[in-house]
Amino acid sequence: MALGELSGYVVGVTADRRADEQVAMLERRGAAVVHGRVIRTHPFAVDGPLAAALRELVRRPPEITVFSTGIGVRGLVEAAECLGLAVPLVAALAGSRVHARGPKANGAAVTAGIPVHWQTTSGLSHEIVTELDRPDGGLAGRRVAVQLDGAESQPLARRLEALGAEVVAIPVYRWSLPDDPGPALRLVQAVIERRVDAVTFTARPQVECLCEIAEGAGLLDALRVGFARSVIPVCVGPVCAEAAVAAGFGEPVVPVRSRLGSMVARLAEVLSGRSVAFVLGGEDVLLRGRVFEVPGARVELSERERDLLAALADRPGRVLSKSQLLAAAWPREQADEHAVEVAVARLRRRLGPRGHLLETVFRRGYRLAA
């Protein structure tokens, strides 16, 4: 899609790191953005457990190194520089067999001068375990350095220990819920009310933290319904996509390449399929998100008005009953036919001089003369 082609769509952003960059990408394409940070990243102090782990690796280099995230690789190298250990640490890790969980970790390692011998194809940790737990070269007694991600639980490190490896954990940062959950709760409410068209996730814990925040407010089930109805979950890669499915958000949109720009481009491509072009009163018009575009004018619609117009435009000239319009614009909600009458009257006013083209068919329903 060309720049500006997300005009009319609203996208929720859950990220902490690089959130400004992501918001700018979306806004350059014309999207409105609701930023509800659901997570907070806390780097470990250089003189704490991180320093101890790095000194231990320099003293006794590992046979195998596992890098989980790009930010983690960059963080441990920066910490080593502060400690005056960058050269010996890079040498120690470069001398091991390095495994990367995905392209970000791979790229950060190579940039730091640490060659990567193997990278997952899925981006999932269990693929690393499968690769390392081979009959011809078991992990028992082998020294393995594992760069931890920021989650409280560390199933990869525990699994490698269970297979007999001597694991040296490298804690670079940790994640927590934000100090102020207000913006995240506003995003949850926007999903429930379908005031956003999509929500982006750039890390697995963002999915988990959004669920935790929603559950704490008693809104988790309603959040899942919001995604099920029409809000698109968008994940930068397979790790957070797996978490989104497990959370009950439905099948997410995932780019081929796990990159921020690729994710935004893929979302734009998917949303383009939701635009509806048709001819109304002899004019070419376009319904794009919440914006109804006619020659020389743009009309902002509410979620309900958008749903009604989309349903009618999808079947131009055909009569839709009030019950059909209820199903289109009030799914899973208690509403009666009077609500349809009121919403149609509002929509006619929004359409201005074209309002008469939304016709009432006595005792049958409504149709769009399109």
Q: What is the pLDDT of residues 99-115, one digit of tens each?
A: 999 888 999 999 999 99
Residue 357 has pLDDT above 70, yes or no: yes
Query: Mean per-residue pLDDT for 262-284?
Result: 91
Half-sphere exposure of 207 (CA within 13 A, CB side): 25
> How does residue 1 score in pLDDT terms, banded at 50, 70 and 90?
very low
**Alpha carbon distance 259, 266 (integer Å):** 10
Residue 175, both tokens:
């994640």
Per-residue model confidence as pLDDT tens digits over 278-313: 888 888 999 998 899 888 888 889 888 888 998 998
- Model pTM score: 0.82
> How does residue 137 score in pLDDT terms, banded at 50, 70 and 90?
low
> What was the pLDDT predicted at 332?
66
**Alpha carbon distance 329, 87 (integer Å):** 62
Longest dimension (CA), the chain: 85
> What was the pLDDT predicted at 102?
86
Residue 150 has pLDDT above 90, yes or no: no
The whole-angstrom distance between residue 11's C-alpha and the CA centroid of its chain comes to 10
- The interaxial angle of helices 19-28 and 260-272, nearest 10 deg, is 40
Residue 177 has pLDDT above 70, yes or no: yes
- For the chain, list the domains and their CATH numbers: 10-39+177-272 (3.40.50.10090), 42-175 (3.40.50.10090), 276-368 (1.10.10.10)
Residue 139, both tokens:
């992990």
- Higher-confidence residue of 178 and 1: namely 178
The DSSP 8-state label assigned to residue 186 in this structure reads H
Residue 204, both tokens:
């697995």
Q: What's at 167, amino acid-wise?
A: V
- Higher-confidence residue of 295 and 54: namely 54
SS3 301: coil
Other Cβ atoms closer than 10 A to 210: 29
Average pLDDT, the chain: 91
> How does residue 4 score in pLDDT terms, banded at 50, 70 and 90?
low
Half-sphere exposure of 47 (CA within 13 A, CB side): 0
Of 188-202, 220-234, 329-343, the least confident? 329-343
Contacts of 108 (CB under 8 A, 6+ apart): 67, 70, 71, 73, 74
Q: What's at 150, amino acid-wise?
A: G
Pairing of strands 297-300, 358-361: unpaired
> What was the pLDDT predicted at 2?
47
Other Cβ atoms closer than 10 A to 162: 12
Query: Mean per-residue pLDDT for 120-126?
Result: 86
Residue 3 has pLDDT above 60, yes or no: no
Per-residue model confidence as pLDDT tens digits over 221-247: 999 999 998 899 999 999 899 999 999
Q: 284 pairs with which residues across the strands?
A: 279
**Alpha carbon distance 362, 342 (integer Å):** 16
Q: Taking a C-beta distance cutoff of 8 angstroms, is the pair 170, 146 a contact?
A: yes
Residue 56, both tokens:
């231990």
Query: Mean per-residue pLDDT for 343-364?
Result: 91
Question: In terms of residues, how long is the chain?
Answer: 370
The DSSP 8-state label assigned to residue 193 in this structure reads T
